[in-house]
C-alpha cells in the first residue's frame, strides 16, 4: 500500500471542501491513455491499490501503468466507543487530495479498447467521477 516514508507533521488538519480545478497533472504526460477526475475528492491508499489491481488484472500484465497521485495526507481516527475529548486520534490511513481535472492513472502499450475497459473497471474502485482521456485529444 502507498504511504510516505517520512512526514514533516505526523497529524494534519482535515481541511474543508476541495475547491477549484487542478492546475498541475491535468494532461496525459507519460502514457497514451489516462483516467481523469471530473470531481474532487479524497482518494485513500486502499482505493488507489484496488484500482491498480483491477487495471493490471484486466490487461494481463501487458502494457505499462503509471499512478499519478500519491496518498501523502494522514487521516486520523479515534478508537471505537471513545468518549469526547482526550485529544486527536492516531493516524489511521493516508489519502491523496484529488481536484477536478487531475489525471490519476495513465496507460500505454495496449489497444484503446482494452485500456478503456481497464480504466472503467478501475473507476468503480474510486470514490469520484472520472472520464477516459486520450493523449493529444483533450
Q: pLDDT (tens digit, 0 to 9) for every residue of the chain, 138 residues total?
A: 899 999 999 999 999 899 999 999 999 999 999 999 999 999 999 999 999 999 999 998 789 999 999 999 999 999 999 999 999 999 999 999 999 999 999 999 999 999 999 999 999 999 999 999 999 876
Task: Report the number of distinct structural domains present in the chain.
Answer: 1
| Buried-state track 17-48, b at ≥16 Cβ within 10 A, e below 16 | eeeeebeebbebeebbbbbbbeebbbbbbebb
CATH number of 113's domain: 3.90.1170.10
Q: What is the number of alpha carbons within 13 Å of residue 123 lying toward its C-beta?
A: 20
Q: pTM of this prediction?
A: 0.93
Q: What is the pLDDT of residue 62?
A: 87
Q: What is the pLDDT of residue 138?
A: 62
CA distance 114 to 10: 41
User: Mean pLDDT in the chain?
Assistant: 95
| Residue 98 structural domain | 39-78+88-134
Residue 18 lies in a domain: no
Residue 11 lies in a domain: no
Residue 4 lies in a domain: no
Residue 129 lies in a domain: yes
Amino acid at each position: 500500500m502507498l504511504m510516505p516514508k517520512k512526514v514533516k507533521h505526523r497529524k494534519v488538519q482535515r481541511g474543508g471542501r476541495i475547491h477549484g480545478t487542478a492546475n498541475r497533472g491535468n494532461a496525459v504526460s507519460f502514457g497514451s491513455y489516462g483516467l481523469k477526475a471530473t470531481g474532487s475528492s479524497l482518494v485513500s491508499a486502499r482505493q488507489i491499490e484496488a484500482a491498480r489491481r483491477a487495471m493490471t488484472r484486466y490487461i494481463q500484465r501487458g502494457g505499462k501503468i503509471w499512478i499519478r497521485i500519491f496518498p501523502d495526507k494522514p487521516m486520523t481516527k479515534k478508537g471505537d466507543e471513545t468518549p469526547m475529548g482526550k485529544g486527536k486520534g492516531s493516524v489511521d490511513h493516508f489519502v491523496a487530495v484529488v481536484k477536478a481535472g487531475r489525471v490519476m492513472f495513465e496507460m500505454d502499450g495496449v489497444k484503446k479498447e482494452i485500456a478503456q475497459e481497464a480504466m472503467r473497471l478501475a473507476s468503480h474502485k474510486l470514490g469520484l467521477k472520472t472520464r477516459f482521456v486520450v493523449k493529444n485529444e483533450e
